[in-house]
Amino acid sequence: MTQENNKYLFQVNLKGMIELLSEHIYSAPNVFVREVLQNGMDAATARRTIDEHHQGEINIYINKVDGLPQVIFEDNGIGLSENEVHQFLSVIGQSSKRGDFNEKDYIGKFGIGMLSCLVVSNEIIVETRSLIKDEAVCWKGKADGTYTVERIENMEKPGTRVILHPKKEWLPLFEKAELKKNILYFGNALPITIRLISDGETEMLVDKTPVWLSPESTKEELLSYGKDAFNINFLDAFPLHSHAGEIDGVAYIMPHKVQFSGSKQHKIYLKRMFLCEQANNLLPEWSSFVKCIINTNELRPTASRESLMDDEIMKEAKKELSNSFKDYLKVLTLKDTGKLGEIINIHHMFIKALAVEDRSLLKLFVDYIPFETNKGHIPFVSIKSYNEVIYYTPSLDDFRQIRRIAGSQGKTVINAAYSFEADLIQQIKITFPEIKIEKITPQDILDTLADVAVSEDEAYMRFEKRANDLLKQQYCKAQLKQFDPVDTPAIYVANDEAMSNKNLQSLSTAGNPFAATLQNFIKKEDNMPTLCFNKDNEIVKNLIAIEDEPLFNSIVHIMYVQALMLGGYPVNKKEMTVFNDALYQLLVMGMSNFLGNMGL
């Protein structure tokens, strides 16, 4: 403990620190490949500040020493002098890349990456020759926090060799196929030559700009690359660019429908080193219908190097990337409406989300966008051409109730219950004020059903009273109306308030201990759901004439539950019971009639 004027200095437990950094900051043991490749890449970049024509190379050797595997990552970068080895390799958190004039060109910056090697190897051996100083040294660092440095003579050219002897449990990571897989996973886009040398064979792993970063690549080449990278036959591909974050890449359109909340797996590279598969804050929320491969030279990684930091540049980049999407779609409206149609057909949910956000896109696409209506899925252009007024309902329950009856009245109703739909309709209303779009509720439909002059007809009056007395027990009113289609005997109409009143009522009658309190929540006693009987329907005509009480009750109950089901309403236990009892009654009556007729 060091003390000076009552001030103490923190002490560091080196072993614990190394353990923490090496084993906990990185999520997987294979990241050592990334860290070593990245150091090789940075060393080549540093060398180019002295020799601009320098061609960076990394050779990876898999050897056997005394029967045990050994892997060497050899680069021809700037190397380190003895002094630098003490200064940068041996001090945790110290990096030669921070504060350097060319800082922004380096991938590394935290000064901890090398420690990831200690997850898979008990010791890191670094042999290095500095381009600047005429000396070569061998540094050996151990997980217990000790290191040694000594001069060596067996290195003639500038560069660095990182030598690892795997721990027993990580031997599989050092097998040729696995190592190759990891080198390509992290390093396939690096602007450096990477070779794998084992059993006397040299294999070229990386030596050219990847297809997705090359401006010369054709659409076919991009699509074929996308198929290999994601194992998906994409519908189309288009370039992505953002000045902010210095981003370039490709977006691939999924060939099938995807969930809005589906997993957003992309491939994100930082200075052409693979970083991660997710970029939630970088790509727009509605981007699940594409898979992206992008490289950023400017966005900053987190210390674990497994995600990007959410900062101001990221926000700006997100806007620019979103514009790349929009530009692509805009170009399609001019150049390839067939493809646009295909995309909208499959991904209309996302296109709707996009159109909500961007008025110019809305103007371009509105005609192509399909909506679910009471007449099927129809593109907006047809809806607006055939209707003077377009109706919509923001509730699925309402839509279910309204669709049939509205259809018979010649109305087209859009189901705007799904995400974005209601917002989109609002945007359409604002953007195209000349198009008449109105919200419609079951109550509006009820108001349009023709009244029947019940009070002028004794039979109608009696029918309504009997039906009301019976349906009161189901928290429902009965009304005689006249509407199309005549083959619909009855419809159940309930707005949200009526439905919640009904639910509260059924809770309180089901013996809920808060019954009295629940009753107080019922808003307006008269706002009950209504069962509208269709006066012109044949069954209703007969029903009005039925005197027999049990028969009348059974038919009304069956019509009631049927109307509930037709409207897509839930049928509760009590309703199911009356329905079953009624059916049973009818069966018994039918059979006794039959047996009576047979004279039995």
Ligand X SMILES: Nc1ncnc2c1ncn2[C@@H]1O[C@H](COP(=O)(O)OP(=O)(O)OP(=O)(O)O)[C@@H](O)[C@H]1O
Residues that bind ligand X (CB under 6 A): 35, 38-40, 43, 75, 77-80, 88-89, 95-97, 108-114, 160
Give the Cα separation of 391 and 413 in Å (integer).
5
Cβ at position 103, least distance to ligand X in Å? 11
Give the Cα separation of 165 and 518 in Å (integer).
73
Question: Is 105 marked as a binding-site residue?
Answer: no
Q: What does each C-alpha distance from 6 to 1, 2, 170 come to in angstroms? A: 11, 10, 47
**Residue-wise DSSP of 433-481:** TTSEEEE--HHHHHHHSEE--GGG-HHHHHHHHHHHHHHGGGT-EEEEE
Give the Cα separation of 226 and 255 in Å (integer).
12
For ligand X, the closer of residues 111 and 191 by Cβ is 111
Query: Is 286 buried (19+), middle (13-18) or exposed (0-12) by CB count in 10 A?
Result: buried
For ligand X, the closer of residues 160 and 401 by Cβ is 160
Cβ-contact 549, 513 below 8 angstroms: no
For ligand X, the closer of residues 83 and 577 by Cβ is 83
Cβ-contact 514, 484 below 8 angstroms: no
Residues 6+ apart with CB under 8 A from 329: 340, 343, 351, 354, 361, 364, 365
Q: What does the H/E/C string look like for 188-256?
A: CCCCCEEEEEECCEEEEEECCCCHHHCCCCCHHHHHHHHHHHHCCCCCEEEEEEECCCCEEEEEEECCC
Query: Is 175 buried (19+), middle (13-18) or exposed (0-12) by CB count in 10 A?
Result: middle
Among left, alpha and beta (phi > 0; psi -120 to 50; other), residue 79 is: left
Cβ at position 23, least distance to ligand X in Å? 15
Give the Cα separation of 35 and 584 in Å (integer).
76
Backbone angles phi, psi at 160, to 5 degrees: -140, 140
Cβ at position 11, least distance to ligand X in Å? 22
What is the DSSP code (8-state) at residue 530? E
Cβ at position 262, least distance to ligand X in Å? 32
Question: Is 35 marked as a binding-site residue?
Answer: yes
Question: Is 146 marked as a binding-site residue?
Answer: no
Cβ at position 281, least distance to ligand X in Å? 21
Q: Strand 7-8 vs strand 3-4: parallel, antiparallel, or unpaired?
A: antiparallel
For ligand X, the closer of residues 79 and 379 by Cβ is 79
Cβ at position 418, least distance to ligand X in Å? 45
Give the Cα separation of 488 and 407 in Å (integer).
12
For ligand X, the closer of residues 78 and 240 by Cβ is 78
Cβ at position 128, least distance to ligand X in Å? 6
For ligand X, the closer of residues 90 and 443 by Cβ is 90
For ligand X, the closer of residues 29 and 108 by Cβ is 108
Give the Cα separation of 600 and 595 in Å (integer).
5
Cβ at position 293, least distance to ligand X in Å? 23
For ligand X, the closer of residues 31 and 405 by Cβ is 31
Question: Is 75 marked as a binding-site residue?
Answer: yes
Closest C-alpha to 206, from 215, 197, 216, 193: 193
Q: Which residue in the shown chain puts its C-beta closest to ligand X?
A: 108
- List the structure tokens of 326: 């929009």
Cβ at position 317, least distance to ligand X in Å? 21
CB atoms within 10 A of CB 217: 19
Residues 6+ apart with CB under 8 A from 475: 501, 502, 505, 506, 528, 529
Cβ-contact 138, 150 below 8 angstroms: yes
For ligand X, the closer of residues 19 and 423 by Cβ is 19
Q: CA-based Rg of the chain, rounded to a whole angstrom?
A: 37
For ligand X, the closer of residues 26 and 212 by Cβ is 26
Cβ at position 110, least distance to ligand X in Å? 4
For ligand X, the closer of residues 43 and 60 by Cβ is 43
Cβ at position 198, least distance to ligand X in Å? 20
Q: Which residues are annotated as a binding site for ATP?
A: 35, 39, 75, 160, 305
Q: Which residues are annotated as a binding site?
A: 35, 39, 75, 160, 305
